[in-house]
Structure 1
Amino acid sequence: MRVVLSTYGSRGDVQPMAGLAVRLRELGAEVRVCAPADEEFAKLLGGFGVELVPVGPSARALTTEAPPPSSLPERAAAVIACQFDAVIAAAEGCDAMVATGMMPAAAGGRSVAEKLGIRSVSVTFQQLTLPSLRRPPLAYQGRPFPPEVTDNRVLWDLDAQSIDALFGEALNTNRASIGLPPVDNVRDYVIGDRPWLATDPVLDPWQETPDLDVVQTGAWILPDQRPLPAELVSFLDAGEPPVYVGFGSMPMHGSKDAAQVAIEAVRAQGRRVLVGRGWADLGLIDDQDDCFAVGEVNHQALFGRVAAVVHHGGAGTTTTAARAGAPQVVVPQLADQPYWAHRVADLGIGAAHDGPTPAFASLSAALGTALTPETRARARAVAGEIRTDGATVAAKLLLEMIGRERPTASA
């Protein structure tokens, strides 16, 4: 059996696909992953012997350029075109596709599968894009919902209209180029009849809704066996567990200020500091020996050795810290990150920082909560409840799906 996994986005969109790819290979499937042409993604997948088919420009460059919101439709059009250019060739002869990533990329992937007549499933790594009358949708940058509208059903209708306005023309132009009919509702086309939610049910409980049949598989965790660098181990061994500060794939414009505020706030708690450079390229502010900076390392091994994790609130980082039993301080920047911040606070495993810009006083208050013995005890208790079989569950479901009748290719 041959499977193609298609995504476009940050590391949080690519690493779970690597986790699924590893499990699929263990079950005998041939797998290739279509993802942005970033060197770190190629290295990540290559380390597990998984083929990367590069799609489009660097996701890091696209993220850190910080374009105005008005450029979103143009960028989306380029992403969709790249999907059609690269994924069609990669998916030829495959039995199934898993599509995820930013909405236009997933729409392109699903369209490719439709054209080739292969089964496809849509997956999301957070539930906020799945319509539910229990909560409002996320608003796209530069397209806020009318403040007077509070009915969730109306807001979800507006969400569909907004997505069509942003991505519909580009998607349907590309679909027409390969002989596919236009899509009337981009969001519902991407989600499909039975989407998968690849998140942990403790951290992200899905509440059943009559409007959508969602399969929650658990988070797709990629087991990481890499040893920590020797210099990092020496730093960890030299004193009490430090507080890790890193914002992953978030550019954190004004990152020098973010690093300074974070280091000073952690020091004020009497703790050492471990700075994760990330896409913001955070660095040290002086040469004191209570601070150390690292690049891309094994977070699964590292987070078990820190006093707390200060991060942006991506689904992957939140799950990894929770599995490690590390208290968290979430400084959410955008999209689903405020949701994860509130989940961390609601579960009692850390603190949600108020807003995206840390100040000394606000970050100190959040650290004061995260570093209490009560929070540490709660974080360790929740760690034992996190599922680790999500990628295996998804791999088995996908192979079962392949075993059913193959759909007919579009003419």
Structure 2
Amino acid sequence: MTMRTGLVIGAVVAALALTAGVVTVQIAQRPSSAAAVGSPSAPAVTAEITRTTLVQTAFVDGTLSYGPTQPVESKAAGTLTWLPTAGDTVERGRALLRADEQPVVLLYGDLPMYRQLVPDTVGNDVKQLETNLRALGYTGFTVDQRYTTETAAAVKRWQKDLGRPETGTVDTADVIYLPGPVRIASRVARPGAAATGQVLTWTGTTKMVTAQVPTQDTTWAVKGAIVDVLPSAGVTVPGVVADVGTQASTPSGDGDANAPAGGSAQQTTLTVTVTIADQAAVKGLDQAPVKVRHVLEQRENVLTVPVTALLAPIEGGYALEIVDGDRSRLVSVRTGLFADGRVEVSGAGIGAGMKVKVPA
């Protein structure tokens, strides 16, 4: 029996489990510790003490999609004669629908079209219209809050290009304001139906991830935080936390049948939205389940060893068996962060580049 075999009674087992950000470590104990172990009868299996940045991560489930659908409400009278198809992208200045063959045009803005715009009208809605006209290439007016004769002249040129009557005024049914370009999600009405009311639904044009995260687990979800998006197939894609909901929700249903009386196993959640800059990397995916990997804790410039190198003397604490040529010695260490099968260690007598014994 070798000196190490006599000292260690059985094998030392180390395991690292990471579930929902909780780390569990199980390490078998030694009966006693010693300052020196002596010369092993066979070459030791070793690993190097490294200095690195240790990052502990966790995952949440999410869905990759174009985001929530929103309705398109038309105020146009008459009959629907044309609608875009699902999947089409509509940009500023293009028709969202045709009523009696007259286009109802998409413009960008947050203020709905709530009144007719005519010369001498003053307000933020005038400035919003003029901003859109300028973006479409129409000039000869000042972008401000006053609808002038110069604005009316630009509107006539715009109406001529659209094939609409050149009135120089803009009616509430002529345009629909939305925040930006839209992707048509579905047709709600069909050509031949009345043009007034909800006719389409839309989403944004870029894919994003939405995840319902338990409220107590959202400390990582800070606007601007960098995360990784992992589709079920394909490469990992960088993402950025764009929004964290403020309204907590509880999943619908009857809850857990095994929950205690008067209680529920359901958790309140917040919606976390993650944007993806590299849209090409998620091409072809829609309504797809993904994982969002985020950082729980990070330690920079620390010494680390494989978790399996840790020894647990019966007196308590942890130790490493440092291998130096054909001899080895035990060194007490303090542990820090556990992540990806490694553990942060510190203590006198250890340094980067040293060799530690690990199970064969």
Task: Considering Cα pairs closer than 8 Å and 6+ residues apart, tell me whether 1 or 2 has the greater RCO.
Answer: 2
- TM-score bracket, normalised by the shorter chain, equals under 0.3
TM-score (norm 2): 0.25
TM-score (norm 1): 0.23
Q: Larger % of strand: which? A: 2
Q: Larger % of helix: which? A: 1
